[in-house]
Amino acid sequence: MKFSLKGAVAGLLLGTMLGSGGAWADGGTLRIAMTAADVPTTTGMPNNGFEGMRFLGYTVFEPLIDWDLSDPSKPADLRPGLAESWEVDPADQTRWTFHLRKGVKFHDGSDFNADAVIWNLDRFFDDKSPQFDANGSAITRGRNPLMKSWKKIDDYTVEIDTKYPASYFPYIICYTLIASPAAFAAAGNDWAKFAQAPAGTGPFRITKVTPRVSVELARNDAYWNPARVPKLDKVVLLPMPEATTRLAALRSGQVDWIEVPPPDAIPSLKSAGFNVVTGVYPHDWPWEWDVSEGSPFHDVRVRQAANYAIDRDGLVQMLNGTAIPAKGWYTPDHPLFGHPKNDYTYDPDKARALLKEAGYGPDHPLKAKILTSTSGSGQMQPVQMNEFIQQNLAEVGIDIDLETTEWGTLLVALRNAPGSAPTMGANAINVSFATSDPSWLAKFFHSKNKAPVSSNWGQYSNPEVDAVLDKMELEFDPARRDAYARQVNELITDDAAWLYVVHDMNPRAMTKKVKGFRPAQSWFQDLTSVSME
C-alpha cells in the first residue's frame, strides 16, 4: 500500500495538533458501510427508513423523548431526551405537557428552547409555516398521525394535544426530531441548503455531506450529557446497497464496519479475523396471510399447521445464527411474550394432522400463492428463506407457489387489499416489520385497520383482540398497558394470525479495531461508546 506524501504530512500535522489537545484526541475515525442505497437526508428527518434514523437521525438530532440504548440485556425503552419529563393531563387524556431540558445548545451555538420545539412542530405539521418541509413532513406524519395542536406555555414548557387519547403517544413522538431554527435561517430558509450544513443537538454533528457518496460526523464536544460525549473523533457513513460490495469493502480495508454481511460470509469473516456482532431487536419476519373468507388460510387449523411445519432451527442454521426462531409477535424471551397455548415447534406430524382435520390431504393438497421481494429493508435473505419454507411446507402437503418481485412493487401490494390487482393474487405477503412498541399491534391486528385503510393486510378480525387493543389504547399506566399487550400476543399467537418465522439478529461485521460497541435491543444503536484502537 502506498501513501501519498501530502496525506502523510497532513496526517502528521493533524496528529500533532490533536495530540496537544490532550485526552479527547484518541478516539479515531470509524467508517461504516450502510445498506442504504443513498446517503439518508441530513435535514434532521432522514429518509431510508430506520437505518436513516439509526445513523443520521438519533446520532445528530434528538427527539423530546429518546430511546435508552444503554442496556444491551433488555429491549430498549424510552428515556428523557430534550424533554426532562412529560405527563398526560388526567382530566383530558389528549393533552400532554413536556418540560424541556435547559442549557442545551444546537451545534451552531443557538439555544434550544420551547420556541425551537414549536418551530420544528410547525415544520412538520403546519403546511403554512415558512419552514414547512414537505418531504420531512410526509415521513414524520406517517409515523405520527396523532398531532392535533401544540403551543408554548413558557420558554421551557410545551403542550401538545392529540387527536384522540392514546397511551402510547410517547412511542410516537420519539420519531419527531428537533433541528436548529437558526441554522435554517443561516441556510437562507432552504432545507436543501440546510442539508449541507445542518445543526441538531445530538452527540455528533455533521461536518461534510457529499450526496450519494458519504456523510462525515464529528464529535460534539459541547454535548449536554457528559456521559454520552462520543469517544470517536469522526464517523464516516457510506451507502453500499450491494452486500457483495460491502463485503469487499470490509475485506479490503476500505471500511471498519458493515451492516448486514451476507450470512453465508460470516464463517469466512470470522476466520479472517473480523468480529461479527449480532443482537436481538424488535423485528418480525413473517408471512402475513389473507385470513378472510375464501382464502386457504381462513381456517385457523391450516394456519397453525403451517406454523408447526416450519423447521425454524434449520432455517436459523441456514442463516448462520443471524436470526432466532419466532413463535409469536414478540421474541420468545420478551417480557410481553406471555404464555400462549401453542408452542410452534417443528412438528410435521401435528401439522399433517391439523391439515387432515381441516380437510386437506395427499389427494387434496392445499395450494397457496406467496408474494415476496428479492431484497429490501429488513427482508434478510427473502428468496432463499422462502424457498426453505416452501420445501418445509411441501413436506406436509402445502403446495406453495412463490412469486418474487422487487421491493417497491411489494410495498405497493401491501397497501392494497388481498384480491386487488397489485397483490398479484397472493394469499400471503412476506414483509418484515419493526415491532418497537405496543402501538404497532393495533396497526397490524385491529379489524378497523384492514388494508387498504391501514397495515392489517391479511384482513385479520378477532373481536377479542379488538377489545383488548381498544382497552390498551386508553390505559395510561405502563404496567397495565403492558399486560394488555401481553394478552394480545397470546391471542394472535394461538390464533396464528401470521406465519411467525424468525426474528432478525441484525448481524454487523467489524474489524477488531472497533471497540466498545454494545448492541442495543433496538433498531437504533448508540455510537457514543465506540472507539477505534
Partner 1 sequence: MNRSVKDTASEFPAVAGRLNAVPSQSPGYWTLVRKRLMRDPVTLIAAAVLVLIVLSAIFAPLLAPYDPFMGKITQRMKPVGFAGHLLGTDETGRDMLSRLLYGGRLSLTSGIVPVAIALAVGGFLGISAGFFGGPVNSVIMRVTDIFYAFPSILLAIAICGMLGTGLFNTLVSLTLVFIPPIIRISESVTTQVRSLDFVEAARASGARPFALMRYQVLPNVLAPILVYATSLVSLAIILAAGLSFLGLGVSAPAAEWGLMLNSLRQMIYIDPLLAALPGVLIFLTSMCFNLISDGLRSAMDVRLKL
Partner 2 sequence: MLSFTIRRLLQAIPILLGVSILVFLMVQMIPGNALDLMLPSDAPKDLIEKMKAEYGFDKPLWQQYLRWLWMLLHGDLGVSIFDSTPVAATLFDALGNTFVLAIPAAVLGFGLGIFFGVTAALNNGKAADKALSMVSITGVSLPHYWFAIVLVVIFSVELNWLPAQGMQFDTLPSTVEGLKSMVLPVITLSLIPMGVVSRVVRAAVLEVMSQEFVNTLNAKGLWSRSVLGHILKNAAPATLAVMGLQFGYLLGGSILVETVFNWPGSGNLLNLAIFRRDIPVMQGTILVLAAFFVLLNLVVDVAQALIDPRIRR
CB of 345 to partner 1, least distance (A): 18
- Is 309 within 8 Å of 301 (Cβ atoms)? no
CA dist., res. 198 & res. 221, Å (int): 16
449 contact choice in partner 1, partner 2, none (CB below 5 to 8 Å, kind-dependent): partner 2
CA dist., res. 342 & res. 165, Å (int): 34
CA dist., res. 44 & res. 56, Å (int): 8
CB of 437 to partner 2, least distance (A): 14
Closest by Cα among 219, 215, 199 to 48? 215
What is the helix (H) or strand (E) element at residue 434, kind and residue range?
Answer: strand 433-434
404 contact choice in partner 1, partner 2, none (CB below 5 to 8 Å, kind-dependent): partner 1
Selected from 95, 301, 415, 471, the binder of partner 2 by CB under 8 A is 415
Residue 140, all three cell numbers = 414524520
Q: Does residue 110 touch partner 2 according to CB under 8 A?
A: no
DSSP state of 111: B
Closest by Cα among 433, 480, 130, 422 to 284? 433
For residue 149, which phi and psi values (nearest 5 degrees)? -150, 165
Selected from 243, 366, 485, 510, the binder of partner 1 by CB under 8 A is 243
For residue 114, which phi and psi values (nearest 5 degrees)? -60, -35
CA dist., res. 441 & res. 435, Å (int): 8
Instruction: Return the bridge partners of 79, or none.
Output: 66
CB of 382 to partner 1, least distance (A): 9
Q: Does residue 420 touch partner 1 according to CB under 8 A?
A: no
Please report where in the chains the cell 403546511 appears, as a residue: 127
- Residues near partner 1 (CB under 8 A), total: 26
Q: Does residue 374 touch partner 1 according to CB under 8 A?
A: yes
DSSP state of 227: G
Could you give the 3-state DSSP secondary structure of residue 105? Answer: strand
Nearer to partner 2, 21 or 241 (CB): 241
Q: Does residue 4 touch partner 2 according to CB under 8 A?
A: yes
Please report where in the chains the cell 416452501 appears, as a residue: 390
Closest by Cα among 166, 21, 9, 152 to 92? 166
Q: Does residue 251 touch partner 1 according to CB under 8 A?
A: yes
142 contact choice in partner 1, partner 2, none (CB below 5 to 8 Å, kind-dependent): partner 2
CA dist., res. 526 & res. 230, Å (int): 9
- Is 159 within 8 Å of 95 (Cβ atoms)? yes
Beta pairing class for 65-68 and 398-405: unpaired
Nearer to partner 2, 139 or 310 (CB): 139
Selected from 37, 185, 222, 467, the binder of partner 2 by CB under 8 A is 37
CA 469 to chain centre: 22
Nearer to partner 1, 135 or 391 (CB): 391
Q: Does residue 248 touch partner 2 according to CB under 8 A?
A: yes
CB of 408 to partner 2, least distance (A): 5
Selected from 171, 223, 388, 457, the binder of partner 1 by CB under 8 A is 388
Q: Does residue 404 touch partner 1 according to CB under 8 A?
A: yes
Contact window for partner 2 (CB under 8 A) among 9-17, 307-315, 407-415, 517-525: 407-415
Contact window for partner 2 (CB under 8 A) among 129-137, 151-159, 341-349, 390-398: 129-137
Residue 407, all three cell numbers = 421491493
Selected from 22, 90, 103, 142, the binder of partner 2 by CB under 8 A is 142
Sign of CA dihedral 385, 139, 213, 409: positive
Show the site string, 436-475: x = touches partner 2 by CB under 8 A, - = not. Answer: -------x-----x-x-xxx-x------------------
Selected from 11, 15, 19, 253, the binder of partner 2 by CB under 8 A is 253
CB of 453 to partner 2, least distance (A): 8
What is the helix (H) or strand (E) element at residue 178, kind and residue range?
Answer: strand 177-178
Nearer to partner 2, 277 or 414 (CB): 414
Please report where in the chains the cell 441548503 appears, as a residue: 193
Q: Does residue 383 touch partner 1 according to CB under 8 A?
A: yes
Count of beta carbons in the 10 Å neighbourhood of residue 453:
10
Q: Does residue 402 touch partner 1 according to CB under 8 A?
A: yes
Q: Which of residues 255-274 bind partner 1 (CB under 8 A)?
A: 262, 264-265, 268
Half-sphere exposure at residue 219, Cβ-oriented, CA atoms within 13 angstroms = 23
Closest by Cα among 231, 208, 236 to 527? 231
Q: Does residue 145 touch partner 2 according to CB under 8 A?
A: yes
191 contact choice in partner 1, partner 2, none (CB below 5 to 8 Å, kind-dependent): partner 2
Show the site string, 306-325: x = touches partner 1 by CB under 8 A, - = not. Answer: -----x--x---x-------
- Is 201 within 8 Å of 82 (Cβ atoms)? yes
Residues that bind partner 2 (CB under 8 A): 1-2, 4, 6-7, 37-38, 41, 47, 127, 133-135, 138-139, 141-143, 145, 191-192, 195, 210-213, 238-242, 244-245, 248-249, 251-254, 406-409, 411-412, 414-415, 422, 443, 449, 451, 453-455, 457
Residues that bind partner 1 (CB under 8 A): 243-244, 247, 251, 262, 264-265, 268, 311, 314, 318, 374-375, 383-384, 387-388, 390-391, 394, 402-406, 409
